[in-house]
């Protein structure tokens, strides 16, 4: 499951490089027009290079265990997971693609514009959020997941929090600040 996650992430990185070579996204760390802010690529975000590759991999291992080995993933769980994925994708798109104060980046290179890599990442991120929600449900509500799964989930939570704090402190989620 970890290797599959890394493959999915690598494909996202390759899509970014493909779009960069075709001038669909700005060069890494170039200055965003009308600002003093830099254009960030996938690898600039701690939530992507640390949380997605390491910590979310732990959740996917738990989710795989839940899905394949325990038999606790019911049809209602799948429907709820899909609903969570769709809600996450909608919220993420509203904030990043429609938000006038969203600072352009590799996934959302301009206001109202989403790159191919951005679409790919929205799907990946939404699947991750759905997996996290279902794992949390089966750890904290039903109690079906115990032992190592609980420890791996706390490993994920700590890594997610650390990555988020590092991105915030680095200014990666700062609003677009026009200088003109």
Give the model confidence (pLDDT) of 132-175 as tens digits: 999 999 999 999 999 999 999 999 999 999 999 999 999 999 99
pLDDT in tens, 61-76: 999 999 988 888 889 9
* pLDDT at position 7: 96
pLDDT at 129: 97
Decide: residue 40, CB within 10 A, 0-12 exposed, 13-18 middle, 19+ buried: buried
End-to-end CA distance of the chain: 48
The tokens describing 100, both together, are 């006038």
pLDDT at residue number 15: 98
Q: What percent of the chain has pLDDT over 90?
A: 84
Cα 104 to chain center, whole Å? 16
Positive or negative: CA dihedral 114, 12, 27, 105? positive
For residue 163, give the nearest of 135, 137, 127, 125 by alpha carbon.
Answer: 125
Is residue 180 scored above 80 in pLDDT?
A: no
């Amino acid at each position: 499951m970890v290797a599959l996650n890394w493959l999915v992430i690598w494909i996202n990185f390759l899509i970014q490089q493909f779009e960069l070579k075709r001038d669909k996204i700005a060069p890494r760390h170039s200055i965003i027009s009308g600002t003093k802010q830099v254009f960030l690529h996938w690898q600039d975000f701690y939530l992507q290079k640390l949380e997605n590759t390491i910590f979310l991999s732990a959740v996917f291992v738990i989710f795989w265990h839940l899905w394949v080995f325990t038999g606790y993933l019911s049809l209602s769980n799948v429907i709820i997971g899909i609903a969570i994925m769709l809600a996450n994708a909608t919220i993420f798109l509203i904030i990043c693609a429609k938000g006038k104060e969203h600072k352009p980046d590799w996934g959302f290179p301009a206001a109202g514009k989403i790159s191919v890599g951005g679409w790919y990442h929205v799907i990946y991120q939404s699947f991750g959020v759905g997996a996290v929600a279902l794992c949390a449900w089966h750890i904290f509500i039903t109690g079906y997941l115990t032992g190592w799964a609980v420890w791996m989930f706390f490993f994920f939570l700590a890594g997610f929090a650390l990555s988020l704090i590092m991105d915030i402190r680095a200014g990666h989620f700062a609003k677009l600040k026009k200088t003109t």
